[in-house]
Amino acid sequence: MRPILLALLFAVVSSTAEAQLADPIKWTFSARKIDAKTYEVRMLATIQTNWHLYSQTQPKDAVINPTAILFNKNPLVSLDGKAKEVGKMELYSDKKLGISANQYSGQVEFVQKVRLKAAAKTNVSGTVEFQTCDDKKCLPPKKVSFNLALN
């Protein structure tokens, strides 16, 4: 009986650990109205302890995939500039390997201002492509989709 219980406990602990490794970043998406035709699309990344998410801009010697925000075309919406990053950026540097990276820990919010071309209800949608690493390994790049109403 004990070996079965131990095997079951091991399976539960292993699957819990894998689930945590699979998603060290939790995304929350929202749209905030600024004025009649202007919105802020907010993409909040909550990052598990010991993990890092990477900036949209990276140094030339970086080997990591930068975060990329891709918006689907919508004839009623135009992007106003590039998404701003709100958080405490850290510069990672490994002199032995000769690489560096612009990264975030804990939390970072990407904020993209969008403008409606006409007073109409519509949606803004797209994907965030990102990669995350801890001190020992990097996970493969991942995509998360979003779709937000602008009314």
Q: By three-state DSSP, how is residue 8 classified? A: helix
| 8 belongs to a structural domain | no
Q: To the nearest whole percent, how much of the chain has pLDDT over 70? A: 85
Question: Token pair for residue 99?
Answer: 């690489």
Distance CA 71, CA 89 (A): 24
Residue partners of 28: CB distance under 8 A and separation at least 6 = 43, 44, 46
| 15 belongs to a structural domain | no
pLDDT of 107 > 80? The answer is yes
Provide mean pLDDT across the span 42-60. 97
| 10 belongs to a structural domain | no
Q: To the nearest whole percent, how much of the chain has pLDDT over 90? A: 74
| 4 belongs to a structural domain | no
The four Cα atoms 29, 33, 38, 44 give a dihedral, to 10 degrees, of -20
Count: domains in the chain:
1
To the nearest whole number, what is the mean pLDDT of the chain?
88
Question: Token pair for residue 147?
Answer: 């779709």
| 144 belongs to a structural domain | yes
| 2 belongs to a structural domain | no
| 1 belongs to a structural domain | no
What would you report as the CA-atom Rg of the chain, rounded to the nearest whole angstrom? Answer: 19
Tell me what pLDDT residue 134 has. 94
More confident residue, 21 or 115: 115
Provide mean pLDDT across the span 28-53. 97
| 67 belongs to a structural domain | yes
pLDDT digits (tens, 9 = 90+) for 67-101: 999 999 999 999 999 999 999 999 999 888 889 99
Distance CA 120, CA 140 (A): 39
pLDDT of 39 > 90? The answer is yes
Which residue range is the domain that position 80 belongs to? 24-150
Tell me what pLDDT residue 126 has. 98
Question: Token pair for residue 61?
Answer: 């010697």
pLDDT of 145 > 60? The answer is yes
The domain that contains 56 carries what CATH number? 2.60.40.1250
